[in-house]
């Protein structure tokens, strides 16, 4: 499944990844930052790299990206987390760093790719999702016009949620007690990223 033969086997690979992380932290160029982040996120797909990336604390690096202004950085960081969270050790590291709240915030992203990665990551992070806000949000996704989001949301509801909870979320959705989670903010709204982090706490009725 991975990229097959690795170009940098053994210690060389670790050093290469380390060099990438160092460049990411040191560089001033936003282009280079994006490229290196994308590289790291794609490297995360290969199980052969997961251990090295965990040792380099790349999970922290990705989580940091979720609160960035640049949508590209958020998307790539979220993609990296989606890839890495498939591994149990990486998953535990993300959980220890309170990743769930940060990832949940990304459900409100305007970018479909980011939202998909966030849903995928949440599925990897926990076997049972009980947060009613997340449940409602995913329930809304399951009615989305986007087939990919709809399919993923349905798998999420069927495999990760108790049926009783889904029913309650459905009732809530029809009633007035909705959450704003997962509803992207309008384009002109400033401070989108900072709001997104605390989105799951905002229980206010959706005004969109």
Partner 1 sequence: MAASDDSSSWNTLEVHKHHEQRTVCHTRPKYREGRRPKAVKVYTINLESRFLLVQGVPAIGLMAELVQLFALYGAIEEYRVLDEYPAEEFTEVYLIKFQKLQSARVAKRNLDERSFYGGLLHVCYAPENETVEDTRQKLQERKRFVARIMRNKARERDQTEVEKSKMPNGPEMAMCEKKEWKVTSQKEEESLSTSYFLSYPLLPPPPQEDVYRPSSFSEQTSPSSSSSSVLKGYQCKMQPAEDNMGSTYHFVDTGNEPLPSKVLKSPSHGNPAIINKQRKICHPTTRFIPRTTQLENRKRKMEEVCQDTLLGIADTSETLIGPRLPQQPKMDMEDASLNITANLIRNTMAKISSVPECKPAEKKATTPKPRRRI
Residues in touch with partner 1 (CB under 8 A): 1-2, 20, 31-32, 34-36, 38-39, 41-42, 45, 47-48, 50-51, 72, 75-76, 79-80, 82-83, 86-89, 112-113, 116-117, 120, 123-124, 140-141, 143-148, 150-152, 154-155, 158-159, 183
Tell me whether residue 113 or residue 194 sits nearer to partner 1 (CB atom).
113
CA-CA distance, 99 to 62, in Å (whole number)? 10
Q: Residues 6 or more apart from 16 whose CB is under 8 A from it?
A: 8
Q: Which two tokens stand for residue 52?
A: 């090295």
| Residue 193 beta carbon to partner 1: minimum distance, rounded to whole angstroms | 18
Of 34, 36, 50, give the one whose Cα is nearest residue 1. Answer: 50
Query: Which of 27, 177 has the CB closer to partner 1?
Result: 27
**Residue 104 or 117 with smaller CB distance to partner 1:** 117
- For the bound state, the minimum distance from the C-beta of residue 138 to partner 1, rounded and expressed in Å, comes to 11
The two three-digit tokens of residue 37, written as one number: 């982040």
Q: How far is it, in rounded angstroms, from Cα 24 to Cα 188?
A: 29
In the complex, minimum distance from the CB of residue 176 to partner 1, in angstroms, rounded to a whole number:
17
Q: How far is the CB of 191 from partner 1 (least distance, A)?
A: 23
User: Token pair of 186, please?
Assistant: 């309008």
Which lies closer to partner 1 via its Cβ, residue 27 or residue 194? 27
Closer residue to partner 1 in complex, CB, 18/194 = 18
Which C-beta is closer to partner 1: that of 75 or that of 192?
Answer: 75
| Three-class SS state of 139 | helix
Rounded distance between C-alpha atoms, residue 81 and residue 134, angstroms: 18
71-84 helix and 112-125 helix, angle to the nearest 10 degrees: 30
Cα–Cα distance for residue pair 111/196, rounded to 1 Å: 13
CB of 39 to partner 1, least distance (A): 6
Please report how close the Cβ of residue 57 comes to partner 1 at its closest, in angstroms: 18
């Amino acid at each position: 499944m991975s990229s097959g033969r690795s170009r940098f086997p053994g210690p060389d690979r670790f050093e290469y990844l380390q060099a990438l992380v160092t460049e990411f932290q040191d560089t001033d160029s936003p282009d280079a930052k994006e490229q290196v982040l994308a590289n790291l996120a794609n490297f995360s797909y290969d199980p052969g790299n997961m251990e090295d990336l965990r040792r380099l604390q790349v999970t922290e690096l990705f989580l940091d990206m979720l609160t960035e202004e640049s949508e590209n950085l958020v998307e790539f960081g979220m993609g990296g987390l989606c890839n890495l969270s498939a591994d149990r050790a990486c998953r535990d590291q993300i959980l220890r760093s309170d990743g769930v709240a940060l990832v949940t915030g990304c459900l409100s992203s305007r970018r479909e790719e980011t939202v998909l990665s966030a849903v995928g990551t949440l599925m990897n992070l926990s076997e049972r999702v009980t947060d009613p806000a997340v449940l409602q949000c995913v329930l809304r996704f399951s009615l989305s016009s986007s087939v990919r989001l709809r399919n993923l949301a349905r798998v999420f509801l069927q495999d990760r949620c108790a049926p009783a909870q889904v029913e309650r979320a459905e009732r809530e959705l029809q009633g007035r007690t909705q959450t704003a989670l997962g509803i992207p903010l309008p384009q002109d709204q400033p401070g989108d990223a900072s709001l997104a982090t605390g989105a799951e706490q905002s229980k206010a009725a959706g005004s969109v």
